[in-house]
Chains A and B, each alone.
Chain A
Amino acid sequence: MSHAEKDSFGAKLGMWLFLFTEMLLFGGVFILYSVYLTRYPKEFGLGGHQLDLVFGATNTVVLLTSSLFAAMSVTAIKRGAKQLTLGLLSGTIGCALIFLFIKYLEWSAKFHHGIYPNSPKLIAGPPGESIFFSLYYLSTGLHGIHVIIGGILMTWTAVMVQKGILNSADNVTLENVTLYWHLVDLVWIFIFPLYYLIL
């Protein structure tokens, strides 16, 4: 591998093409959400008011900050600041863990109130409410899986930076992993208003 020709233009283009398929995946979920919102506006309103704005807003700030650290890590590695790169990547991973912990608290509170897919309470309630919470778990769950994958990729990248495999001359892998992380942030930029704010 050490003598392999690196084509960072091609690597980035490939990453972007993958990110577009991700946009369409989450776009599909958002279409589903908006169609059911027009069908059950009242039930979606009631459901939305049961979500905790403080959890949602805190996680928005946590993710935006993690994205800042990720973007800075690219600047740091290109300037040859290895320790700073590692510090910023740790910051990103730390934010990912905080995000997941808050999500855990939020979901536990919902489970505690008997709100989870197929729960007796939702089955007995109006169909619009159960659809709202199914979409809530689908969107935040799919997004949460992306956060976990992003955190693992970020850790893997940090190990390669530590070993010097990624450095100021060859760092397209780090760039691509941060691109993936920013996509996770982008998706949350839409989940937050749709579920926590507009209802």
Chain B
Amino acid sequence: MEHTEHILSYGKLTAVWVALLVLTAATIMVTRFELGVWKVWAALAIASVKSGLVIAFFMHMKYEPRLFRIILFVALFTLAGFIGGTFFDVLYR
């Protein structure tokens, strides 16, 4: 498997880190308001964006072969299936 290796620059990694810190500040601020159930969704949405940044850049997923992303989505769909199935039972019992 010989292919030219992609190396992320320090600047780009630092930019991702700054974005992660900004998102952390945003999630703290948005959850200080009494938004009820929207607070939960906002926090989870921001956490998902942060995870996306970590996986894509820090974990280099953006530059890996497509096979890696396929199995990532299989794992995420499996987890989503467990969550969906559990809540289908818990909420409509």
Contact = CB atoms under 8 A, between A and B. Distances in A.
A139 interface: no
Nearest to B13: A71
Interface of B: 1, 5, 7-10, 13-14, 16-17, 20-21, 24, 27-28, 31, 39-40, 43-44, 46-47, 50-51, 54-55, 57-60, 64-65, 67-68, 71-72, 74-76, 78-79, 82-83, 86-87, 90-91
B90 A24 contact: no
20 contacts: A13-B67, A20-B72, A24-B82, A31-B82, A31-B83, A35-B86, A35-B90, A67-B58, A68-B58, A71-B57, A71-B58, A72-B10, A75-B7, A78-B5, A178-B58, A182-B54, A190-B51, A192-B24, A193-B46, A198-B31
B51 A193 contact: no
Nearest to B44: A193
Contact of A61 (B21, B58, B76): B21
Most chain-A CB neighbours within 10 Å: which of B27, B68, B86? B27
